[in-house]
Chains A and B, each alone.
Chain A
Amino acid sequence: ETGVTQTPRHLVMGMTNKKSLKCEQHLGHNAMYWYKQSAKKPLELMFVYNFKEQTENNSVPSRFSPECPNSSHLFLHLHTLQPEDSALYLCASSQDLFIGPRGAYNEQFFGPGTRLTVL
């Protein structure tokens, strides 16, 4: 496996279900991210992890619970979701959070996403 992988690719769940999304990066990066992409809307950052520590929670409802056991793996645990939570959930990683003084780049590499449908 190379790059950033996400499983499952598609998920349909009821509002009372509990499910988890998994992301794995094979790039040796230190930072990982969860994004939500809804139709015709900009990508919306949900969570940021740097060296396994959460550095940003972008006012995400508690029915979304992230977990980062190590720098290579990121999970998004889902419970009691609403139909409006249906979207493409994207995981990304970058070498670091910041661009260094010599211009070291920190572009984010994205996985293919999980298409989530909440019934």
Chain B
Amino acid sequence: EDQVTQSPEALRLQEGESSSLNCSYTVSGLRGLFWYRQDPGKGPEFLFTLYSAGEEKEKERLKATLTKKESFLHITAPKPEDSATYLCAVQARNQGGKLIFGQGTELSVKP
């Protein structure tokens, strides 16, 4: 069964304290892995798509990496405005347009 697990469920950081979020997945043929950011009361906002192991993408203080079993979202020197829930999702080759989401990591960055 295709599955996505994110850890930790919640993460509290001090401003400037770098860390990583994990997304572990099991899927029968990965078509793509997606990272989203979701602020309270809003819909998820697209961040990155990763297609194959070894691929990396960067955007400001965020860097996403992908292996055959997991993806990491590295946050370098975070700021309070990076506080949000970060969602990971995978699309399998035999699942049409279906995205399977993890439960998310709630990140809080304190000044």
Contact = CB atoms under 8 A, between A and B. Distances in A.
A99 B97 contact: no
B104 A108 contact: no
Interface stretch (B13-21, B44-52, B60-68, B70-78): B44-52
Interface in A1-36: 4, 6, 31, 33
Interface residues of A, number: 31
Contacts, number: 68
Given A42-B104, A99-B31, A108 B99 contact: yes
A99 B104 CA distance: 24
Interface residues of B, number: 25
Contacts of B89: 43
B97 A50 contact: yes
A42 B97 contact: no
Interface in A27-74: 31, 33, 40-43, 45, 48, 50, 55-56, 58
A94 B43 contact: no
Given A98-B31, A99-B51, A107-B34, A45 B98 contact: yes
B97 A110 contact: no
Nearest to A40: B103
* Residue of B34, B51, B96, B100 contacting most chain A CB atoms (<10 Å): B96
Given A41-B103, A98-B31, A99-B91, A109 B96 contact: no
Interface of B: 4, 31-32, 34, 36, 41-46, 49, 51, 87, 89, 91, 96-104
